[in-house]
Amino acid sequence: MADDEIDLLDPEAGEGEGFGDEWESIDVSDTEADRIARKRDRKFTQFRERLKDADQFKVEQAVFDDATFAALYKLVQDGYVDAFGGPISTGKEANVYEALGDDRDVAVKIYRINASDFRHMRDYLDGDPRFEGIGSDKGQVVLAWTRKEFANLSRARAAGVRVPEPIAVERNVLVMELVGHADDRARRLAEVQVENPQTAYEVVCEYMRRLHRAGLVHGDLSEYNLIIYEGELVVIDLGQAVTVHHRNADEFLRRDCRNVATFFGRQGLAVDPDDLYESVTEAEPQVGGTLDELDGRDAGRNATE
């Protein structure tokens, strides 16, 4: 492995931090963005009108409410975003835009309060100890959801899983590292020719194991939420990830295993979802376990393309 390459499976990552049971409580009280939206001073109003006129936001005029524009305004004021670029994706619940951050390109994920399938979100939030006491207000649920994605990204990253670095969260807007570049984007695993499926599979398996040891289950893992850039696999879309204490955590993990096994099965590997599940949930290996083995094989890099 060359010096400048990122070691996907850093054996030191996540060690000694006592993952598993801890959880951070999440505050959903009134945000600065809400106050900005209420006050509607001249500068905010100008900002909002400018953004509404910008080509890439035109379609969203009816969708983004004032509080969302206020969240974007706050992120600009705080220096996390300097300029907004084009849309990367318009999903069921969120729009992702590329943007110019402080010193690099960033991805801005905006959850649409109105479009959000509120009941679906509740299913994931209820039973997660981090979200006890979240009321039934739709805005609060979406806000909790966005904070949850930020917290999940932080926790996954600390556990040595390659995810976009979370940068800032404001209300229903999440700013994170853009994987790849504005003019050369990362692609979904589903869109690329996987040239070394065995290695790619082992990397995904190790990520799932690390997530699990960090007390998390992704809950929507598939070739659509794994992106790849320069041979490096990155796990995205952790909004729905739950802690292992969630009553449906096991069901979600089994589904993740099935999705991953099916995808790699199509790539010609014989992967049994139950074996994958066992390997993800098995107790931490003693000295010299799977990480060392994988490390020796230069896993992760050049897995595809």
Ligand X SMILES: Nc1ncnc2c1ncn2[C@@H]1O[C@H](COP(=O)(O)OP(=O)(O)OP(=O)(O)O)[C@@H](O)[C@H]1O
Residues that bind ligand X (CB under 6 A): 88-89, 91-94, 96, 107, 109, 164, 176-180, 186, 188, 225, 227, 236-237
3-state secondary structure 29-94: CCCHHHHHHHHCCHHHHHHHHHHHHCHHHHHHCCCCCHHHHHHHHHHHHCCCCCEEEEEEEECCCE
CB of 167 to ligand X, least distance (A): 10
Nearer to Mg ion, 94 or 276 (CB): 94
* Pairing assessment for the beta strands 226-229 and 173-177 based on DSSP bridges: unpaired
List of residues 6+ apart from 167 with CB closer than 8 A: 80, 101, 106, 175, 176, 177
- 42 interface partner picked from Mg ion, ligand X, none, CB below 5 to 8 A per type: none
Question: Is 220 considered catalytic here?
Answer: yes
Integer Cα distance of 216 and 244 in angstroms: 5
For residue 230 the two structure tokens come to 């320069």
Under rule CB under 5 A, residue 177 binds Mg ion: no
Nearer to Mg ion, 225 or 243 (CB): 225
Considering only residues 235-254, where is the footprint of Mg ion by CB under 5 A?
A: 237
Nearer to ligand X, 107 or 200 (CB): 107
Integer Cα distance of 248 and 250 in angstroms: 5
- 232 interface partner picked from Mg ion, ligand X, none, CB below 5 to 8 A per type: none
Nearest to Mg ion by Cβ — which residue? 237
Nearer to Mg ion, 37 or 253 (CB): 253
User: Could you tell me where the DSSP H helices lie in 159-285?
Assistant: 197-213, 249-266, 273-281
- Of the listed 34, 128, 220, 256, which one is catalytic? 220
Question: Is 82 considered catalytic here?
Answer: no
Under rule CB under 5 A, residue 256 binds Mg ion: no
Under rule CB under 5 A, residue 128 binds Mg ion: no
Nearer to ligand X, 206 or 237 (CB): 237
Nearest to ligand X by Cβ — which residue? 91
- 149 interface partner picked from ligand X, Mg ion, none, CB below 5 to 8 A per type: none
Do residues 239 and 145 lie in contact, with contact meaning Cβ atoms separated by under 8 Å? yes
Look at residue 199 and give its three-state secondary structure: helix
Do residues 190 and 286 lie in contact, with contact meaning Cβ atoms separated by under 8 Å? no
Sheet-wide strand order for 173-177:
83-90, 94-100, 105-111, 173-177, 166-170
CB of 132 to ligand X, least distance (A): 25
Integer Cα distance of 81 and 60 in angstroms: 19
CB of 185 to ligand X, least distance (A): 6
CB of 110 to ligand X, least distance (A): 9
Integer Cα distance of 142 and 137 in angstroms: 9
Nearer to Mg ion, 51 or 221 (CB): 221
- 107 interface partner picked from ligand X, Mg ion, none, CB below 5 to 8 A per type: ligand X
Binding mask 207-236 for Mg ion (x = CB under 5 A): ------------------x-----------
- Of the listed 41, 78, 123, 237, which one is catalytic? 237
Name the site residues for Mg ion (rule: CB under 5 A).
225, 237
Known catalytic residues? 220, 237
